[in-house]
């Protein structure tokens, strides 16, 4: 019997994550009703002040997580957590000029907020008290930011013409029923972790991290928006580590991302994957670290996803980019699509119906045949672009910033890995280099600032010399 076929069997010690009182409709959701009432009443209060507010929104992130770690056949960590975090956005001034207006057009910084915790039991009275107090604090901070923005405008005699004014999100009403519990057998999860990491070659360390998240996002505004969405995600991360023959650590990770725990591979399937990883790691351990060189590099189709993440996303989110710039080769186009949840039977984790500012998620073509036609915008990104295109997203407790959804990179001239390998050899000959590099698999470094090749080949110009695997390569500079 497969591992996940044990789920929900009567008599097993089931772990129920994210339990809560059953709700049958939005009208019974205490937290939603409380947020709506506070937004409706408090905006009327702050509209009448000497420095009036014209927009108020509340976002609550109810986050629940179960996490388990194992190392070399033994459990090292087992914990669950729950939190409910409030984020307030209040706009003082007018649609033409408010506290989110930034003078420096190259800055993407937005006012950050502290973490405001709400009670987990949705106590209406306590939640209302917290909202009243924190909204007053947020209003005072917004007034200070607005005065500072006005002062900078006056000091600099800033005359730059904006491309528009702030457009409030439409009052969407959307409600998803809560996922009351995600059940899985904790004993079986532990067995899976220990089994996957235990039967390993000598001098090889295998670590595994299982994580299951169930997040529920609330968004309400003084304009009447009431949006409640669920986001679930389960991941299993494996990583094999060993020392090379010259004493340098060699790492080889693998990650499985699904929506629910029952979609993860079986224990038998994981064991087969670990055995393949062991074979690759054993070969890498025997290699000498490659020396510094300047030569052609080509990424496989799989590894190219990491390259695009590291190089393309900053270009699409920075303030300095302008429509009409040639960013990429003329055969490459890019789309950001929050509305698709599957691609070739692969689950996409960047899907959502509404963003964290209450705007409807929009599929947008960002690059068309190499030319930038539109960047990613949120309503807080900078002075020029108050109009969001549905890409304002944030972690709990922070103001939204522009973040891509599911980023789709396509080309009108697709090539297989075999064709790319051949093209690499031709480029090596063209540049007169003795060799080049083929990146088969890669990841982002822990600090997020560079690309780390995991599996890489040295491809020689002379095809009579066999290509050989290498490790220890680091890419320096911006791709």
Write out pLDDT tens, residues 329-381.
899 999 999 999 888 777 888 899 999 999 999 999 999 999 988 888 777 65
The better pLDDT of the pair 51, 342 is held by: 51
Crossing angle for the helix pair 186-198 and 267-285, nearest 10 degrees?
30
Report the distance separating Cα 219 and Cα 225, nearest Å: 7
- Average pLDDT value over all residues in the chain: 83
The better pLDDT of the pair 1, 68 is held by: 68
Mean of pLDDT values over 452-469:
84
Q: Look at residue 19 and tell me whether its pLDDT is greater than 70.
A: no
CA-closest candidate to residue 439, choices 413, 425, 421: 421
Please name the helix (run of DSSP H) or strand (run of DSSP E) that holds residue 420, with its range, or none.
helix 417-431
Mean of pLDDT values over 144-163:
71
Q: Look at residue 104 and tell me whether its pLDDT is greater than 70.
A: no
Structure tokens at 449: 């600032």
Say which range, 17-21, 291-295, 421-425, 444-448, has the weakest mean pLDDT: 17-21
Percent of the chain with pLDDT over 70: 84
Structure tokens at 273: 């994957």
pLDDT tens sequence across 278-327: 888 888 887 766 666 788 899 998 888 888 888 888 777 765 556 677 88
CA quadruple 34, 55, 401, 374: dihedral sign:
positive
Report pLDDT for 32: 97
pLDDT tens sequence across 161-194: 554 567 888 899 999 998 876 777 888 888 888 8
Q: Look at residue 106 and tell me whether its pLDDT is greater than 50.
A: no
Report pLDDT for 8: 32
The better pLDDT of the pair 226, 323 is held by: 226
Torsion of CA 301, 305, 310, 314, to 10 degrees: 120
Q: Look at residue 446 and tell me whether its pLDDT is greater than 80.
A: no
Q: Quote the pTM value.
A: 0.86
Percent of the chain with pLDDT over 90: 41
Q: Look at residue 456 and tell me whether its pLDDT is greater than 50.
A: yes
Report pLDDT for 212: 93
Q: Where are the beta strands (DSSP E) in 136-203?
A: 173-175, 182-185
Say which range, 22-31, 217-226, 423-432, has the weakest mean pLDDT: 22-31
Mean of pLDDT values over 77-106:
85
Q: Look at residue 401 and tell me whether its pLDDT is greater than 60.
A: yes
Report pLDDT for 386: 55
Report pLDDT for 322: 64
Report pLDDT for 461: 85
**Cβ distance 26 to 218 under 8 Å?**
no
Torsion of CA 92, 110, 64, 184, to 10 degrees: 130
Report the distance separating Cα 425 and Cα 298, nearest Å: 10
Q: Assign 46 a pLDDT band (cuts: 50, 70, 90).
A: very high
Q: Look at residue 221 and tell me whether its pLDDT is greater than 80.
A: yes
Mean of pLDDT values over 66-81:
93
pLDDT tens sequence across 247-274: 878 888 899 998 888 889 998 999 999 9
Residue positions counted in the chain: 479
Report pLDDT for 476: 62
Q: Look at residue 137 and tell me whether its pLDDT is greater than 90.
A: yes
Mean of pLDDT values over 430-447:
86
């Amino acid at each position: 019997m497969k591992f996940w076929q044990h789920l929900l069997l009567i008599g097993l010690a089931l772990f129920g994550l994210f339990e809560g009182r059953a709700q049958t409709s939005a009208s019974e959701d205490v937290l939603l009703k409380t947020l709506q009432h506070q937004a409706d009443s408090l905006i009327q209060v702050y509209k009448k002040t000497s420095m009036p507010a014209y927009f108020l929104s509340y976002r609550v992130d109810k986050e629940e997580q179960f996490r388990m770690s194992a190392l070399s056949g033994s459990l090292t960590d087992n914990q669950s957590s729950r939190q409910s975090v409030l984020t307030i956005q209040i706009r003082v001034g007018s649609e033409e000029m408010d506290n989110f207006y930034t003078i420096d057009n190259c800055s993407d910084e937005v006012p950050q907020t502290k973490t405001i915790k709400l009670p987990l039991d949705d106590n209406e009275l306590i939640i209302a008290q917290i909202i009243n107090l924190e909204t007053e604090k947020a209003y005072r901070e917004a007034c200070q930011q607005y005065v500072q923005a006005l002062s900078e405008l006056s000091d600099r005699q800033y005359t730059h013409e904006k491309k528009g004014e702030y457009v409030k999100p439409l009052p969407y009403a959307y409600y998803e029923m809560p996922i009351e519990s995600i059940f899985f057998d904790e004993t079986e999860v532990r067995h899976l972790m220990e089994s996957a990491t235990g039967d390993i070659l000598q001098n090889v360390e295998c670590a595994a991290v299982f994580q299951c998240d169930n997040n529920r996002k609330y968004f309400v505004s003084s304009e009447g928006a009431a949006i409640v969405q669920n986001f679930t995600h389960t991941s299993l991360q494996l990583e094999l580590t060993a020392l090379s023959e010259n004493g340098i650590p060699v790492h080889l990770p693998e990650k499985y991302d699904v929506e629910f725990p029952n979609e993860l591979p079986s224990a038998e399937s994981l064991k087969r994957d670990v055995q393949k990883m062991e074979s690759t790691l054993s070969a890498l351990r025997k290699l000498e670290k490659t020396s510094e060189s300047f030569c052609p590099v080509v990424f496989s189709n799989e590894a190219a996803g990491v390259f695009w993440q590291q190089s393309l996303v900053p270009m699409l989110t920075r303030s300095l980019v302008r429509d009409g710039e040639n960013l990429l080769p003329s055969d490459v186009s890019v789309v950001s699509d929050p509305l698709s949840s599957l691609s070739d039977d692969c689950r996409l984790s960047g899907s959502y119906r509404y963003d964290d500012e209450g705007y409807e998620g929009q599929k947008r073509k960002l690059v068309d045949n190499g030319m930038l036609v539109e960047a990613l915008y949120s309503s807080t990104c900078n002075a020029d672009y108050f109009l969001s295109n549905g890409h304002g997203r944030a972690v709990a407790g922070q103001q939204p910033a522009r973040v891509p959804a599911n980023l789709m990179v396509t080309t009108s001239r697709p090539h297989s890995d075999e064709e790319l390998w051949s093209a690499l050899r031709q480029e090596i000959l063209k540049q007169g280099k003795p060799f080049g590099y083929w990146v088969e698999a890669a990841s982002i470094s822990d600090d997020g600032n560079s690309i780390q090749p995991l599996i890489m080949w040295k491809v020689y110009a002379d095809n009579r010399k066999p290509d050989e695997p290498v490790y220890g390569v680091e890419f320096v500079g911006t791709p």
